[in-house]
Structure 1
Amino acid sequence: MAESQDLKPLLLETDDEFRQLATQHHELEERLHELTSKHYLSGPEQVEEITLKKRKLQLKDKMEAILRRYRQHPPLGSDPSPSLQRG
């Protein structure tokens, strides 16, 4: 999992799709936080909460697929593990 955390900043800078997914994921996270901070959710808000959680999970799955793809086939010229380089 630490490897995924190391790749995320790189992909946020270099992969447009990953960056868009991460942005959407963050926006959903903020909206969910707004909903969960309420003491009571109306019926439509409860439906929205469930929908947001499902959408957030879909986005996370897509982000993980990109991370997996990058780990299996890093672009030429990139080193997925710079800590292994010797100076």
Structure 2
Amino acid sequence: MIKLSEEQVKEILYKENPEFKQLKDKHASFEARLQELLKKSRLSNEEELELHEIKKQKLILKDKMYQMIREYRETHKSE
């Protein structure tokens, strides 16, 4: 039995699982927007709120993806 790395599992899920792909793509878009906001020297009140919301949403997505990774590993233990 060969244990797959986390990155290998992510690649498999990204290719084979539409929900995982959607979560990962959304996480990447949040990260891109977060980087845009962080480049600014000063944020408006609306941008501050957006920054905090993006961070919260990224964590939610990350938790969902890691749950899917754990489930994948659990169901593919014997392979």
- In the superposition, the TM-score normalised over structure 1's length comes to 0.81
Name the residue aligned to 2:28: 26
What is the identity percentage for the equivalent residue pairs of Structure 1 and Structure 2?
Answer: 39
Q: Distance in 2 between matches of 1:3 and 1:39?
A: 38
- Ranges in structure 1 where 5+ consecutive residues have no aligned partner: 80-87
Q: Distance in 1 between matches of 2:36 and 2:60?
A: 20
Shift of 1:6: 1.5
Higher Rg: 1
Match of 1:7 among 6, 9, 15: 9
- In the superposition, the TM-score normalised over structure 2's length comes to 0.89
Runs of 4+, deviation exceeding 2 Å? none
- Ranges in structure 2 where 5+ consecutive residues have no aligned partner: none
RMSD: 1.1
For CA contacts below 8 A with separation 6 or more, give which structure has more relative contact order: 2
Name the residue aligned to 1:63: 65
